[in-house]
Chains A and B, each alone.
Chain A
Amino acid sequence: MSKAMLIDTTRCIGCRSCQVACKSWNCLPGVPAVFSEGSNPRYLSSNTYTRVIFREVVRPEGGMGWYFVKRQCMHCNDPACESVCPVGALRKNEDGPVTYDDSKCIGCRYCLMACPFQIPKYQWESAVPLVRKCTFCADRLAIGLSPACAATCPTQALLFGERSDLLTDARQRIEARPDKYVRHIYGETTVGGTSMLYLTTVPFEQLGLELRGLRTDLGDVPYGMHGRQWMGKVPFIALAVGGAALGLYKFNQRRDKVQQAGKEE
């Protein structure tokens, strides 16, 4: 029942309609920018939920390769951000999206630290800052539409559908063109599976994308587990630290009392 998006990077032409559609649907402002040799904006921010990374490669055997990789929230099946959120502001929905509740957030920014893809962004410039990230257009999904980026993609590089169907489709594509695709679906098992599935011509680490939030060394262990492991210890650590502080306080008070009593005598 979980929805997903298949990002076939071999079909992407780098037009960045997805970036504009995303800003349009989510009412995000365009920010003043200067020249960038790759693509603009250079980074994801609280005003930019998605961007296309450009990679230009001169092949050693001659010819050139131009690779476009869209980046946005991966909507993990077991998200690290959800597992560390102390107030439950982040939630993995039944139908796929990892959504964020403005009214619950206390601004602790644990999600920024926990996310292995460096996705949640904080509104640093705001007086009342909130966390912002791709919502998988949960509002559109709720009324039966596909996400804004997938709806606008002119080359169908972004395919929206049931996760199981898309995995079957992705495997068929790899089987049909083994020369074109890397035999790996990024996101199928990465960090326990994500709702974003990538098909690529060259592995991400060859494009230097591990420095751009698309790490390939994350393994298949659900990252939510790590979060729960650590967050589960918080009450005990809090109690232990609190108890130690209380003990010190009492000890100091008692010492002062004894000293006072000694002086009076």
Chain B
Amino acid sequence: MLPEGKSRLFVPKGLCKEGPFPEHYEPIECHFTNAMSSQQSNPLTKIWKSDLAKVAELCDPRFPFIATTFRVTEHWQAGAMTRNLTWQTEMVPEMFVEISPSLAKAKGIAMGDWVKVVSARGEVPARALITPRVGPCICGAPCSRNAVELVGLPWHFGFAGYATGGPDRKRNYAANQLVPMVGDANTMIPEYKAFLCDVQKV
């Protein structure tokens, strides 16, 4: 109900750029065709013009895995505060990437190995944390249904401070080097939770 007592299908003004009904879109970087709609991803996605404005194609063979970013309880946001506290950094000291046992086996990666996570925007070194918490996910339209490995990275690490996320002080361990610089149509929230990547042994 609106202030004048009537309901509307479309919002007359303001930021909300949605249509009348909820719609499902796939992320801008995706391995699955949209099973819900003929429109693959949100046509009003905001793409900021910068060196990072590169996105992988649909089902890009260079980046065969889906990546997501997450937080851990021991750190706060990009870690500017918590990475400078010794009590916090001793609990989660180094950048890691969660990979499934099946992916680790396929790539010959052992627990704690340094690996390189690569996306269309950049690359990040990380320790391999092999865990069944992540694994192949199956999704997509019926004709193109396939299983794609999921990997997860915390985004608390960086390039300065007491702990940067690794032993090399000259390198940048921030997961935000990988994520797409695109925002959703309404609030410009960046799409940092789903993108494509590759995991390479170093």
Interface residues of A (CB under 8 A from B): 13-16, 19-20, 23-24, 29-35, 37, 39-41, 56, 58, 64
If A29-B86, A32-B93 are given as contacts, then 11 extra A-B residue pairs at C-beta distance below 8 Å, sorted by A number, are A15-B74, A20-B87, A20-B91, A24-B87, A30-B85, A30-B89, A35-B96, A35-B112, A37-B129, A37-B131, A56-B132
Given A16-B73, A56-B133, A37:B112 Cβ within 8 A: yes
B129 touches A33 (CB 8 A): no
Q: Bits for B80-106, please: 1 = Cβ < 8 Å to A, else 0.
A: 000001111111111010000000000
Chain B at the A interface: SS class: loop
Give chain B interface residues in 41-99, CB to chain A under 8 Å. Answer: 73-74, 85-94, 96
CB pair A20 B129 closer than 8 Å = no
In this assembly, does B31 line the interface, its C-beta being within 8 Å of a C-beta of chain A? Answer: no
A33's contact among B89, B96, B111, by CB below 8 Å, is which?
B89
A39–B74 Cα distance when bound, in Å, is: 11
Which B residues are CB-close (under 8 A) to A13?
A: 73
Report chain A residues within 8 Å CB of B94. Answer: 34-35
Range class of the B interface residue count:
20 to 34
Most buried by A among B85, B87, B88, B96: B87
Number of A-B contacts (CB under 8 A): 55
- B residues with a Cβ closer than 8 A to A are 73-74, 85-94, 96, 111-112, 127, 129-133
Measured between beta carbons, the chain B residues less than 8 angstroms from A40 are 90-93
Assess whether B132 is in contact with A19, with CB atoms less than 8 Å apart.
no
The 10 residue pairs across chains A and B that have the minimum distance between CB atoms:
A30-B86, A30-B90, A15-B73, A35-B94, A33-B93, A35-B127, A30-B87, A33-B90, A20-B87, A40-B91
Which residues from chain A contact B87 at a C-beta distance below 8 Å? 19-20, 23-24, 30
Tell me the complex Cα distance, A41–B132, Å. Answer: 22
Q: How far is the CA of A14 from the CA of B73 in the complex (A)?
A: 9
CB distance from B146 to the nearest CB of A (A): 22
5 CB-based A-B contacts, threshold 8 Å: A14-B73, A37-B130, A41-B91, A58-B132, A64-B132
Contacts of A58 on B, CB cut-off 8 Å?
132
Q: Which residues of A contact B74 (CB under 8 A)?
A: 15-16
